[in-house]
A and B are shown apart, each in its own frame.
Chain A
Amino acid sequence: GENVEQHPSTLSVQEGDSAVIKCTYSDSASNYFPWYKQELGKGPQLIIDIRSNVGEKKDQRIAVTLNKTAKHFSLHITETQPEDSAVYFCAAPSNRSSGSARQLTFGSGTQLTVLP
């Protein structure tokens, strides 16, 4: 089954600086890697995802990089703003469950705080 490890667990940056969150996965068959942002009292919001046929994907201030050989992927947030403060989760598909579906296995989360 899939094992997803996420680092760091907490991250504080000054407004305008960049933030990087890293995840490693164990299942070499995994080929889809989403990132979610969860604000207090809300459900996880999909912010970006990447498939294994590309090494990098960018959407405005957010980018994700994937290294399939090393089995790790990272979230990069540039020009951070206070509203970026939230818990961020990485995930990878796993066939740990019974049945035909491959569900998402989540990392343990990173609490990002952007200091004004």
Chain B
Amino acid sequence: DAGVTQSPTHLIKTRGQHVTLRCSPISGHKSVSWYQQVLGQGPQFIFQYYEKEERGRGNFPDRFSARQFPNYSSELNVNALLLGDSALYLCASSLWTGLNQPQHFGDGTRLSIL
């Protein structure tokens, strides 16, 4: 079975632009979470979605938004890009949002802001 897939793998944008990142969860998984990983640090939580509803939001500005579709895939949108948004954006899926649900990550989208 395919794991979590993310697209694109790499992306270069300039300041002020917007970006859309995509994620397909493992088949059967209904929850998707987004994380930002800056070089040399652990992933930081951005959003969690379950059954198309936002179930959690981390400490990120309103420039970050996301949604989940009926097939459980998800998009992360970032507006008005800043240099500091350069990072690896990771998507993780789990069966549901239970406290002990293992999260499985994709290989991420490397976003570079010039």
Q: Which residues of chain A have a CB within 8 Å of any CB of chain B?
A: 6, 31-32, 34, 36, 41-46, 49, 51, 89, 91, 93-94, 96-109
Give, as a whole number of angstroms, the nearest-CB distance from B87 to chain A: 13
B70-114 CB contact bits vs A (8 Å, 1 = yes)? 000000000000000000001000000101101111111000000
Residues of chain A with a CB closer than 8 A to B97's CB: 100-101
Complex Cα–Cα for A92 and B102 (A): 11
Beta-carbon contact of B58 and A43 below 8 Å: no
Supply 12 A–B pairs (Cβ within 8 Å), ascending by A: A6-B42, A31-B99, A36-B105, A41-B107, A43-B105, A44-B43, A94-B45, A96-B58, A100-B56, A102-B56, A106-B44, A109-B42
Count residues of chain B with CB under 8 A from any CB of chain A. 27
Complex Cα–Cα for A104 and B99 (A): 10
Residues of chain A with a CB closer than 8 A to B54's CB: 99
Beta-carbon contact of B42 and A107 below 8 Å: yes
15 additional A-B residue pairs with CB within 8 Å, beyond A93-B99, A101-B56? A41-B107, A42-B107, A43-B105, A43-B106, A43-B107, A44-B105, A49-B102, A96-B59, A97-B59, A98-B57, A99-B54, A101-B50, A103-B56, A104-B33, A104-B43
Give, as a whole number of angstroms, the nearest-CB distance from B47 to chain A: 9
